A and B are shown apart, each in its own frame.
Chain A
Amino acid sequence: MRLQYPTNINIIRVPCTGKVDILHILRAFEKGADGVYAVGCMEGDCHYNTGNLRARKRVEQASKILDTVGVGGKRVQMRNLSSGEGPLFVKFAKEIVEQIKELGPNPLKQAKAGIQKEKNAA
């Protein structure tokens, strides 16, 4: 199909979204990611039965934590599609990139830069 999706996405492949842990999501933000989204199979279609359902729960938990620490819970989301839905993958990618752009960059990047600036000044 040779569909184009936004180039600022870094795809991390996992055998199943059930592999995605809260820590993976949180570390991504610690390292400066502006947003993270997990794309799993359709609910009810998981090869391992509950992998994508577990992923959704973890995404929800990560979202709550990010809200608490002031990074913003909307920066992490879950999407579902079947493996044959390339155009939908592109649609999700564009949608999420658009939403994250509206939210602006990860506030931690700015905070880090601020601390570095203070250090340099001192």
Chain B
Amino acid sequence: MIVADKKPIEEIVEEFGQVKNLLIAGCNECVTVCEAGGKKEVGILASALRMYFLNQGREVKIDEVTLERQCDHEYLEEIRNMVDQYDAVVSMACGVGIQFLAEEYPKLPVYPGVNTCFMGATEKRGLWVERCQGCGQCILAKTGAVCPITRCAKRLMNGPCGGSTRGKCEISQDTDCAWQLIIERLRMLGRLDEYEKLFPIKDWSTDRAGGPRKVVREDIQL
């Protein structure tokens, strides 16, 4: 899922001008799971902003809505009839949802309500970790399902660097050495011989370096 973090309220309010009617739009998908932009977080932000504006002697009408997804046109249609009454929207979806919402309603100012961080997983409650960088050409089959692109600070493709100490990366004692994990996993699978094979030069044209990417699937396009 896409992992987002809470955006400080001070930062969110900084962006508004003299709004009178504000809509806070949450998303029921990833940001709900990572407790940053779901229905509950929408409620908390709405409540906090109501108090903030009131304390400044301003009466601002703040409404709440949580869409099934903000990265899909059909779910964004659900608010078409109501958006006209608002001066601005705070979207608590990931960066994708925020942009899609703005594209759908071009005349409406849209502000981010979260900081979108990465593609990751919930390791335990309150701890999310990055596991994929979307390089566009998955090599997990050869690395024992541990991604060196994401988990190695240097994105090394052929074994650890000299900074790997006792299974940890030199950037931090909290960071596992990805290649240590790969070797351990390959050993467990009895496939350590694969570690001996050199990786060919990786084609990075499918990575972000080539600019914004697209997936075109003509087989399912109508």
Contacts and interface: CB of A to CB of B under 8 A. Distances in A.
A108 B51 contact: yes
Contacts of A112: 54
Contact of B10 (A21, A68, A71): A68
Contact of B52 (A22, A23, A68, A114): A68
A26 interface: yes
Contact of A29 (B9, B10, B49, B51): B51
B120 interface: no
B55 interface: yes
A interface: dominant SS: helix
A115 interface: yes
B40 interface: yes
A38 interface: no
Contact of A65 (B9, B40, B56): B9
Given A68-B48, A69-B52, A23 B40 contact: yes
Interface string A32-60: 00000000000000000000000000000
A114 B43 CA distance: 25
B44 A23 contact: yes
B77 interface: no
A107 interface: yes
Q: How large is the interface on A (under 10, 10 to 19, 20 to 34, 35 or more residues)?
A: 10 to 19
Contacts of A69: 9, 48-49, 51-52, 55
A71 B57 contact: no
A26 B40 contact: no
Nearest to A108: B54
A115 B47 contact: no
B59 interface: yes
B55 A107 contact: yes
A26 B40 CA distance: 12
A27 B47 CA distance: 7
B50 interface: yes
Closest 5 CB pairs of A and B: A26-B47, A69-B52, A69-B51, A70-B55, A68-B9
Interface of B: 8-10, 40, 43-44, 47-52, 54-57, 59
